[in-house]
Structure 1
Amino acid sequence: MLIFPETKFDFCGDEYIYAEISTEMRIESNFKSISITNELRKRNIPGMIEVYPSNASYLIRYDPTAISPHHLLDYLQEIDQQKSHRSELHFSSRIIEIPVWYNDKITKNTIERYQHLQPEAGGDDFIHVMRANGFTEADAFIAAHSSPPYFITSLGFKPGTAWGFPLGVPQNKIIQAPKYPSPRSYTPGEALGIGGAFTVVYPTESTGSYQLIGISAVPVYDPGQNLSLFRDSFFLAKPGDLWKYRPITEAEYYNIREEVEKRTYEYKVKAIEFSVEQYDEKGDHYISQLMEGF
């Protein structure tokens, strides 16, 4: 049974209210954050400008000339009470397939350039993460990482960066990795990285400190909106989405890249309704039900 601590609200300057659902990262807190921020968007409260969901909190920006901060706080507290019941934690979502070339040559070239930043990895992030999680065979590690869907908890760092947390995996089986002690000055666009328990796809070339274990064949950021799934947004991810990584070969990677360049690639997507109550009761069995036919 889900039990949430009392949400802590703070005024930040003259235009923001910060809500802290919990002090630690719990996936249940993120479910609540997404449910609340979705509800706030639906209500379209006059004077509310922007809503920023995060892992275990959310931030509201408002116009103090249009709404009293104390009146807005009343709204937030009322919605927070409503969304403290697991039966109220549900939202529309999507499962999106991300084809990934694991243990690829592209990110390996980058890793070798920065091996001085973490000598203990021996210039190979993939092997470093694999061994740190008790795997001795690459295929077994890839299967373990690509099996669960990854719940998109929040967006940030750079436009299009989405943090994914694995669902339906026992806590002691979640693949985790420390970040680089000092960040790289370069990371290839679409590189797949792990930091802590989170997996991300770097949307563009950038700095970075996550361990690189592969590369996505498809973009997660499309400012030109060249592919059909980006018609409504430059960003592939929305908080509450589930990403499913599919291992592919080097040949498949370049075939898909060609489709992307020709603007003919179609993402595999499944619309779902995510119920936190069902997830709380059934766990990995519920995730398996959601993934049926995908």
Structure 2
Amino acid sequence: MSCRYSYGGDEHIFVEVDPSMSLEAFFTSLSMTNAVRDAEIEGITEICPANASFQIKFDPDVIAPDMLMARLQELEAQAEAAPAVLDTRIVEIPVYYQDPWTHETLMRFRERHQDPAATDLEYAARINGYDSVAAFIEAHSGAPWFVSMVGFVSGLPFLYQMVDRDRQIEVPKYLRPRTDTPKQTVGYGGCFSCIYSVRGAGGYQMFGITPMPIYDPEQKVAHLKEFMVFFRPGDIVKWKPITREEYDRILREVEEGSYTPRIRPVRFSLEEFNADIDGTNAKLMEALHAD
């Protein structure tokens, strides 16, 4: 693939790796932004990676735009030659699907939805060809997901399903955005799942809620004391369906400061994944549950 470069005003360069999302595009974007960071180019003030693109902010009084553009194009060639291997972590995220809080919220906004007579999960299951909500939840939680970017609001991860194209879930956003979404809602829009890090407006379909905080600006939550944002691009996520009783237990542990997310280090190879998707995912699951 060949990147497309464009200027964004006087202080930004936007680099589109690919017009459609893919793990190949993600790896190129991640490799390039890492290379830009490692190069420590004088004048760059911010690096903002996205799903299949990234943006660089720079000071034009320090580095000329055309010089920076040429430098980025050099780094593109280096990124394409680098092996698509990532040392990262896999994280288990508990999800209470069909919870009462997102259900109450979605029922308040049915006039903004494609199917006012159905819940978000019922609608998503139907348009993706599943015969029940339970089967759809199994598909959503059955395979791991890549965190391709973090943003929109502080701490919100965009997650891309690690299955072949034919099995990827796709669900459109609401016809009109809601004015309310519960904090830590697990949502879905287009080909991306997400977790709403804070309460607020939103247009993604709502599937459930996690008791695990992913953003804490005060850094009082035990697993967020080192940094207020939990996710980073390249993380691998496995959803774990839980009951109301498990949700309440985890919530108590979070409040007591005793909750510890299940996290394991893993090495991910894009070449191995493309050669055997299900086999690679099975190995990731083994690593997640290794003692």
User: Would you say 1:170 and 2:182 are equivalent positions?
Assistant: no
Deviates more, 1:25-34 or 1:244-253: 25-34
Per-residue CA shift, 1:94-131, capped at 9, x if unaligned? 11111000111111011111112126241511111122
Q: Alpha-carbon deviation of 1:273?
A: 2.6
Aligned counterpart, 2:215: 221
User: Would you say 1:277 and 2:278 are equivalent positions?
Assistant: no
User: Would you say 1:48 and 2:82 are equivalent positions?
Assistant: no
Aligned counterpart, 1:89: 84
Secondary structure of the residue that 2:234 maps to in structure 1? coil
CA RMSD of aligned residues (A): 1.7
Give the whole-Å Cα distance in 1 for the aligned partners of 2:54 and 2:158: 15
Amino acid corresponding to residue 233 of structure 1 in structure 2: F
Give the whole-Å Cα distance in 1 for the aligned partners of 2:148 and 2:132: 30
Amino acid corresponding to residue 33 of structure 1 in structure 2: S
1:212 to 195, 206, 210: 206
How many residue pairs end up in the alignment? 288
Answer whether contact 1:35 1:90 (CA < 8 A) is retained.
no
For residues 123-272 of structure 1, what are the structure 2 equivalents within 5 Å? 123-167=118-162, 169-272=163-266
TM-score (ref. length: structure 1): 0.92
Deviates more, 1:242-251 or 1:62-71: 62-71
Give the whole-Å Cα distance in 2 for the aligned partners of 1:60 and 1:164: 22
Secondary structure of the residue that 1:94 maps to in structure 2? strand
Deviates more, 1:281-290 or 1:120-129: 281-290
Where does structure 1 differ by over 4 angstroms across 4 or more consecutive aligned residues?
none
Answer whether contact 1:130 1:138 (CA < 8 A) is retained.
yes
Amino acid corresponding to residue 41 of structure 2 in structure 1: I
Secondary structure of the residue that 2:115 maps to in structure 1? helix
Change (3 A) 1:258 1:201: same
What's the % identity of the aligned pairs?
Answer: 35
TM-score (ref. length: structure 2): 0.93
Q: Alpha-carbon deviation of 1:42?
A: 2.1
Aligned counterpart, 1:8: 4
Q: Which runs of 5+ in 1 are unaligned?
A: none
Give the whole-Å Cα distance in 2 for the aligned partners of 1:128 and 1:269: 32
Amino acid corresponding to residue 209 of structure 1 in structure 2: G
Aligned counterpart, 1:38: 34
